Structure 1
Amino acid sequence: MITITAVITAKPGKEGVMADALLSVADHVRAAEPDTIDFFVAQDRDDPCRFTTYERFTDEAAMDRHNGSAAVADFFAIAKPILSGEVVLVTADELSAKRG
């Protein structure tokens, strides 16, 4: 299993736009990406401008399909002008998971 963790920070006042853009990607993943096993979006309790995503893929091809999707391109078109700093990405091989 391959995972990506992303930390994304929106400019103040743009957190609602960022949340909507991330949730749009989540909707796409749910409807059209069976090999994206999980796609979580979270909003920081202390800083509502900071979001974290955690993504799990069956393999590298699934990750590449997701990252090359129109939904991800649309997200970045919306997100780039409202980012506060760089997106922090960590791509990793999952070692352990607890399910249900």
Structure 2
Amino acid sequence: MAKVTLKGFIKVPGRDLEAVEDELVIHRQLTLEEPGCITFKVIHDKTDPCRFDVYEEFIDRKAFEQHQQRVASSDWGKLTRNVKRHYEVFE
């Protein structure tokens, strides 16, 4: 199976910024502990306080889909429901 890579960015509403920054620490830790996660990076943009660049790699489609399912029901998923996501996924 082919590795799955997601890259892009998210735009966080200003009113949610502090809560997203706080929850990101937990989200990052949980994601890196997932079976099949190779890389998970979320970097706060230096020029736009509401933008976070995202780069993820998973060993295969199954690991990526399991990650997506976990996130959907997580505190992170609930908190970031108003976040605008701009992603590309490559296999």
Same fold per superposition (TM over 0.5): yes
Taking structure 1 as the reference length, what is the TM-score of the superposition? 0.76
Unaligned 5+ segments in structure 2 are: none
> Runs ≥4 in structure 1, deviation > 6 angstroms?
none
TM-score, structure 2 length as denominator?
0.83
Aligned equivalents of 1:91, 1:51: Cα separation in 2: 17
User: How far is 1:72 from its partner?
Assistant: 4.4
Please give the residue correspondences for 1:53-64 in structure 2 after superposition, counting only pairs within 5 Å.
53-64=54-65
- Does residue 26 (structure 1) correspond to residue 28 (structure 2)? The answer is yes
Distance in 2 of aligned mates of 1:16 and 1:5: 23
Q: Are 1:7 and 2:5 an aligned pair?
A: no
Distance, in Å, in 2 between the alignment partners of 1:23 and 1:72 is: 17
**Contact 2:13-2:50 at 8 Å conserved across structures:** yes
- TM-align CA RMSD: 1.6
Residue 97 of structure 1 corresponds to which residue in structure 2?
Answer: none
Structure 1: unaligned runs, 5 residues or longer: 94-100
The structure number with the bigger radius of gyration is 1
Q: Is the 8 A contact 1:4 1:92 kept in 2?
A: yes
Structure with the largest fraction of strand: 2
